[in-house]
Structure 1
């Protein structure tokens, strides 16, 4: 892959010539299935500082919304424990 696009001619050669798939079989596969058949290991890119910044920009923390299933009182509590035993 270069520039965000797939190398369709290369993938078709690998699938049809290399694996002996018929066109209908090739096009019925998902990219993940084709990668598995070709022996390509699926992996996440390493978490570098640049990748972390990219992920943080793409999925920013909201900070004011409680996590799904969280108790709203404890999720919105400000200031922490005041020693009173109350939340």
Structure 2
């Protein structure tokens, strides 16, 4: 989320799943109604790994 939304660490750790979903919905409107499946989540994690 830091890369996608520009969140600082304190904003990231204070965010709720709903906050993250709202940001991702803006980037991927088609995912808003369907949710993010395991494959999409894995792809995002691969593109933006922690550390």
TM-score by structure 1 length?
A: 0.30
Q: Higher helix fraction: Structure 1 or Structure 2?
A: 2
Provide TM-score, normalisation by structure 2: 0.47
- Structure exhibiting the larger radius of gyration computed from Cα positions: 1
Instruction: Pick 1 or 2: higher relative contact order, CA cutoff 8 A, min separation 6.
Output: 2
